[in-house]
Amino acid sequence: MSETIAVVTGASRGIGAALARSLLAPGVKLITLARRADADLAAAAKSVGAELEQIQVDLSDLAAADAAAKHVAALLVPGAKRYLLINNAGTVHPVAAAPAMTDGPAIAQAFNLNVTAVMLLTAHFVQAVSGLDAERRVMNISSGAGRNPTAGWGVYCATKSALDMYTRVLNQEQGERGVRAVSMAPGIVDTDMQGTIRASDPTQFPALSKFQEFKASGALAQPADVAARLVDYLGRVDFGATEIDDIRNYK
């Protein structure tokens, strides 16, 4: 029986891929959700004696997300000491000023991935671990963009703000039942998303030069370093004491 069962979304690249590798250890059952399987992750899991289940899914497809959430729930068998859900998958698209935000399907896809899929996965996770005598923790990877407006990021800011508020509601409902949640900003990390941001149209994203400078000056954190700090935080006694948080507060 696994001591820890951990679920990570968006595990094929960036922070998610680094989180998956940081969580691998003997006694861990890791469940990943991503659009593609990761052969290197499978090899790493085998080498350390961790159990790995990779679910290939596009979480912006809500029917597929719901099916995946039910699959995950079936894997959350009783007997572990810790059950962890890390909702990491997300998108910054579409980037556009408010008057140009006319692509309804793109807006809906972003909300599906950044918010609705999180709610579906969390619902099935909470149902599956309800009443278990174990640590049950949910970490939603949010962003400072959910707390501070940024021109051109109307959708991204709105979805991350929604994620923050959803986390607060989840704690209000489930905190007394032993499920604790945190909405954690990871800081500015050197991921593919940052590359996407740097390729934005400056007429739609006025902060472009600032993000280009982050990269040029070496100000971006490395995914492996951020993932290690997030995993360390998952084990803290005071997990969730600050429900809207930033990992940069923990040196």
User: In angstroms, rounded to a whole number, what is the distance separating the alpha carbons of residues 247 and 88?
Assistant: 14
pLDDT in tens, 11-56: 999 999 999 999 999 999 999 999 999 999 999 999 999 999 999 9
Lowest mean pLDDT among 169-173, 188-192, 202-206: 188-192
Q: What is d(CA 128, CA 122) in angstroms, rounded to the nearest whole number?
A: 10
Measure the CA–CA gap between 190 and 220, rounded to whole angstroms. 5
The pLDDT assigned to 68 comes to 98
pTM for this model (two decimals): 0.94
Q: Do residues 126 and 84 make contact, with C-beta atoms less than 8 angstroms apart?
A: no
DSSP strand pairing (4-9 vs 244-246): unpaired
Residue 200 in tokens = 């934005």
Maximal C-alpha separation, the chain: 55
pLDDT in tens, 114-137: 999 999 999 999 999 999 999 999
Asked whether residue 4 carries a pLDDT value surpassing 80, the answer given is: yes
Question: Strand order in 4-9's β-sheet?
Answer: 51-56, 28-34, 4-9, 82-87, 135-141, 179-185, 244-246
Contact between 105 and 52 under an 8 Å Cβ cutoff? The reply is: no
Q: How far, in whole angstroms, is CA 208 from its chain's centroid?
A: 24
CATH class of the domain at 4-189+223-239? alpha beta
Whole-Å CA distances, 75 to 3, 67, 198 = 14, 13, 39
